[in-house]
Amino acid sequence: MTESDEITTALAVIDATLSGEAVGPEHAELAELSLLLADGREAPEASFAASLDQRAARRFGPEPIPGERSPRQRARWRWMFAPAATVGLAAIVALIFVLGSGSGPRPLVQLYKGLSSGPAVRGAAASTSTASASAASPSGSASAPAAGASLGTKSGNGVIASPAPTPSTSGRQIVQSAQLSLSTPPSRVDSVAQQVFDVVAAQHGVVQNSNVTATTSYGNAQFALSVPSANLSATLNALSQLRGASVVSRSDATQDITGQVGSAGRQLAEARALRTALLRQLAAASTAAAVSSLKSQIRDVDAAIARNLSTLQSLHHQVAYSQIQVVINSVGIPGLPISGSGGFTLHRALHDAGRVLVVAAGVALIALAVLVPVALLVGIGLWLAAALRRRRREQVLDLI
Amino acid sequence: MKRPLLRSEVVIDSQTLAVEPDAASSWERLEALYRSSRDDVYAYVATMLRDRLAAEDVTALAFERAFRKRRSFDRRRGEERAWLFGIARNAALDELRRRRRLATLVTEPEDTEGATVEDGAEVALRRTTVLGALAQLPAREREVVALKFHAGFSNAELARVLGISETAAGTLLYRTMEKLRKACHD
């Protein structure tokens, strides 16, 4: 008989003995040993058994204190408070989200924009419209920024409109200018361009030139605006809040031309004084040659006065009117409603809902990409720890 | 010969629990498991530790852990009794480790004279001999005996608790019995 057979037989004898079945006389010793081992089973003392029964009846919870809620009651309270706590936590997160962003719906749009990949190209039918200057203005001989010129720039996707910085003039002659870059879906370029015209008209400014190109898949518009400097801040604020457009970047520049104005004024005054003196000399002139010479000088002085006057007026105009360059580019997916883009429709709501789901899926995917390796590492760590713990436990069996 | 009592008097209808697992709450299932296994767990732990007081503490701790972890029980990973004895085993091994660290391990076997008052002298002598031999076995072999003869486990359940194959569990049990038999003869 092989050892395997012996083992099988012995195990069968043990099981039969423990089941109360009869075994052959050749296995009597093993059967007796089995019965003696089973009979040697220790029973717990009655006091311990009673104590353990009591603890089991309490489900091994702590001793009940009169007036205190039982574990079951506490569990029920926890169950009741869990949804409230979850809602409260969500509200706090939402509040932080809103306060951190400064406005309500825009962050979602920004998030969406961050995830979306540039403008989608659509079909073909294009319509182009070009508008020329609607009003002439004196050509400001814009010289290079002199000392004292300053430039401020803001840029970024979806810049929230903020008040334009206004330089403190305090008697100085300051030329102000600004550049504004807006983004809008291609389908809204026309609408946004029209709003630019409306804003300029409302602020008593002029559109020096404009160029608007809009197709179903692409749109672009450029404007050169001149608005009263007193209205520059209001104009920029209005342009930053056009419906359907968001600010990509904004630059504000100032140039102090007090020196140039003073110089032009002095030259004008000198020319006028010279003219007055020449007129007096002319009144006192007695010879034809002297009269002719004086008249010639007076004509020259008149021309100089006219030039100085023109220069001075130009400088005053530059101070009084600020130049604004506005560029509108189409970005994003056509039809995406940007903050403040008008009425609510079921189609838009469904569209928004779809986008929200896309964004949520994207966020979930990113989170998954981070969490899966982390979870894998944690899982391996836990598995190793459990294996180590088990091994240590098992070791004691070999040592005792 | 009268069949020895291997389990507590209160025996749950494990078939009912298996068929209708959702009918009873986890509490009720665990309470039924407690009633059916209390004495078995104690006997197993007592054999492992050879210390009545420590066995009581560990038994209570095992049930406390079981009640606390009742939701972690996964029927697909085995029967409830095997799950419970797994918890008891871990608690007993932790106790053995702790006692080994403290170097106060009680090595003397329990006095079994008291349990033999009504038995014949010859049977009492044989029982004392067997239990004395059992007490001298290494912990791993004592554990096999405890699970088989004191907790009433089948070889398959025994293997599940020990985390080994059924064949290995059978072989371990056979060799332990052989060792005991020889020790009794000596």
The shortest C-alpha distance from A67 to chain B (Å) reads 24
**pLDDT of amino acid A149:** 45
Asked if residues A249 and A155 have their Cβ atoms less than 8 Å apart, the reply is yes
Query: What is the spatial distance between Cα A248 and Cα A113, in angstroms, rounded to a whole number?
Result: 12
What is the ipTM score, two decimals?
A: 0.74
Query: What is the spatial distance between Cα A122 and Cα A333, in angstroms, rounded to a whole number?
Result: 10
Query: Best residue in B93, B122, B180 to probe A by mutation, most A CBs within 10 Å?
Result: B93
Residue with tokens 């050169």, as numbered in its chain: A224
Query: What is the spatial distance between Cα A125 and Cα A105, in angstroms, rounded to a whole number?
Result: 32
Q: What is the mean pLDDT of chain A?
A: 77
A130-180 confidence digits (pLDDT tens): 433 343 333 333 333 333 444 444 444 444 445 555 555 667 888 999 999
* Interchain contact, A44 vs B39, CB within 8 Å: yes
Read off the tokens for A304.
């100089």
Query: Best residue in B67, B100, B177 to probe A by mutation, most A CBs within 10 Å?
Result: B177
A224-276 confidence digits (pLDDT tens): 999 998 889 899 989 988 888 888 888 888 888 988 889 989 999 999 999 99
- Transcribe A245-295 into DSSP letters: -EEEEEEEEEEE-HHHHHHHHHHHHHHHHHHHHHHHHHHH--SHHHHHHHH
Higher pLDDT, A347 or A399: A347
**pLDDT of amino acid A373:** 93
Asked if residues A71 and B68 have their Cβ atoms less than 8 Å apart, the reply is no
A365-398 confidence digits (pLDDT tens): 999 999 999 999 999 999 999 899 888 888 888 7
Q: Give the β-pairing of A219-228 and A206-215.
A: antiparallel
The Cβ-side half-sphere exposure at B105, using a 13 Å CA radius, reads 19
Higher pLDDT, A96 or A33: A33
Which residues pair with residue A176 across a beta bridge? A254
Whether A29 and chain B come into contact, CB under 8 Å, resolves to yes
Residue with tokens 């002095």, as numbered in its chain: A266
Which residues in chain B are closer than 8 Å to A8, comparing Cβ atoms? Answer: 170
* A35, A41, A53 ranked by CB distance to B150: nearest: A41
Q: Which residues contact B178 (CB under 8 A, 6 or more apart)?
A: none
* B4, B42, B63 ranked by CB distance to A42: nearest: B42
pLDDT at A355 over 80: yes
Please state the φ and ψ torsions of residue A15, each to the nearest 5 degrees: -65, -40
**pLDDT of amino acid A354:** 92
How buried is residue A373: exposed, middle or buried, by Cβ count under 10 Å (0-12/13-18/19+)? exposed
Strand A321-330: give its sheet, edge to edge: A126-129, A206-215, A219-228, A321-330, A174-184, A246-256, A150-159
How buried is residue A210: exposed, middle or buried, by Cβ count under 10 Å (0-12/13-18/19+)? buried
* Interchain contact, A397 vs B150, CB within 8 Å: no
Percentage with pLDDT > 90 across chain A: 26
Q: What H or E segment, with its residue span, contains residue A12?
A: helix A3-18
Of B117, B90, B95, B115, which Cα lies nearest the Cα of B105?
B95
* B4, B100, B184 ranked by CB distance to A400: nearest: B100
Which residues pair with residue A209 across a beta bridge? A224
DSSP state of A186: G
Residue B105: C-alpha distances to residues B49, B51, B98, B108, B128 (Å): 9, 9, 9, 9, 21
Q: pLDDT category, A213, cuts 50, 70, 90?
A: confident
pTM for this structure?
Answer: 0.47
